[in-house]
Structure 1
Amino acid sequence: MYAIFTDGGRQYRVEPGMELDVDYREIAEGETLTFDKVLAVGGDDGLKLGAPTVDGAKVTASVLGTHKDKKIYVQKFRRRKNSRRRTGHRQVHTRIKVEEISA
């Protein structure tokens, strides 16, 4: 069984037991998250599409912790002005593990 849900402007296709990174939330490790905006649920009995969401469907996940993504560099450069600036950024994510998909 799998589900497609939306969170933070992105869509995720998940299965039970799968680990993935979502946008950072200030939530303790071991707590549960519930995603209610489920767009589709698929399994042995076929695909159930929502209009726009599937009624009564939810994805339950447990929080494994937070971590930082790899560093990206932003470099600004103005030609002939001897002006250069380089800054770095590391995005913080919350790692979750999908426990259950209920349709």
Structure 2
Amino acid sequence: MYAIISDRTNQATVRVGDEILCDLMDDAERGSTITFDHVLLIGGDGGVKIGKPTVAGATVTGEVMRMERGVKVTVFRFKRRKNIRVKRGHRQSYTRVRITDITG
């Protein structure tokens, strides 16, 4: 069984046992459970359920593994012949979640 979930701005296809990276959840602690209720699609042996926009009564449950930081992204801006150069970096913070159950 698999599901497509929407977590704020990201969508992900998940199965039981998968680990996904979600945007940082400050209130989540390691070992706690998170319920994703924005399930867009559920598929499996019984067929496919497509939500309009979400599948009614469907939930995906996950366990918080740890907090992580992504790779560093470097942004470099310049204007030619003007001696203007700006170098900036950014590292996004993520929460790693292991999917434990899909219901619906």
TM-score range for the pair, normalised by the shorter chain length: over 0.9
Distance in 2 separating the partners of 1:5 and 1:90? 24
Structure 2 length-normalised TM? 0.95
Show the counterpart of 1:7: 7
- Sequence identity (%): 45
Listed as ranges, the gaps of 5+ residues in structure 2 are none
Aligned pairs for 1:59-70 (under 5 A) are 59-70=60-71
Count of aligned pairs between the two proteins: 103
Q: What is the RMSD computed on CA atoms of the aligned residues? A: 0.8
What letter corresponds to residue 89 of structure 1 in structure 2?
H
Structure 1 length-normalised TM? 0.96
Alignment pair present for 1:97 and 2:98: yes
Listed as ranges, the gaps of 5+ residues in structure 1 are none
- Cα deviation, 1:9-61, whole Å, max 9, x if unaligned, reads 22111000000101100111000110001111111111011111111100000
What letter corresponds to residue 33 of structure 1 in structure 2?
I
Distance in 2 separating the partners of 1:22 and 1:5? 11
